[in-house]
């Protein structure tokens, strides 16, 4: 079972993440689809974002989200769990199966770089903020009869 960073899969529309890459690199024989065992907010996430596929999205760290993630992981029939989230879920989720944490970092390999993209956004935002606001069009006075 591969647990990925939820927003990467949902809002980022990625079809795989660091967990999938690591699992394949180290010889994972098969990937398990957690959808049949998904509960609560995890199940709702799969319904809202059906293109996630067989990866389990960790969507947040509220008490309910952690509870739903824990139930889904422990109910899923699998031999082990690969965790590829910003934090090591084993610190907050009681996983009853062998699990490992994948560490990853961004390595820029081309252009535009992250800094260039962010600079572009900042420039556009500053220009928009500095632009004079357009006045609302005046309504014509009613004609006298």
Mean pLDDT for all residues in the chain: 91
What are the C-alpha distances in Å from 49 to residues 12, 46, 89, 113, 139?
11, 5, 22, 29, 45
Other Cβ atoms closer than 10 A to 42: 25
- Looking at residue 57, its pLDDT comes to 96
Tokens read off for 67? 């509870």
Residue written as tokens 């900042």? 122
Measured distance CA(114)–CA(129) in Å, rounded? 22
- pTM for this structure? 0.75
Q: Show me where the domains of the chain are located.
A: 2-101
DSSP class of 76? S
pLDDT at res. 127: 85
């Amino acid at each position: 079972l591969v647990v990925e960073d939820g927003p990467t899969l949902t809002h980022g529309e990625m079809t795989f993440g660091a967990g999938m890459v690591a699992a394949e690199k180290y010889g994972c024989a098969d990937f398990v689809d957690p959808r049949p065992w998904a509960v609560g907010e995890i199940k709702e996430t799969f319904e809202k974002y059906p293109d996630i596929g067989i990866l389990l999205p960790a969507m947040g760290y509220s008490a309910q989200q952690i509870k739903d993630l824990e139930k889904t992981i422990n109910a899923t029939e699998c031999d082990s769990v690969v965790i590829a989230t910003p934090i090591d879920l084993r610190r907050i989720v009681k996983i009853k199966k062998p699990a490992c944490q994948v560490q990853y970092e961004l390595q820029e390999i081309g252009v535009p770089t992250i800094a260039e993209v962010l600079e572009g956004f900042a420039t556009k935002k500053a220009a928009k903020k500095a632009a004079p606001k357009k006045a609302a069009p005046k309504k014509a006075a009613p004609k006298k009869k």
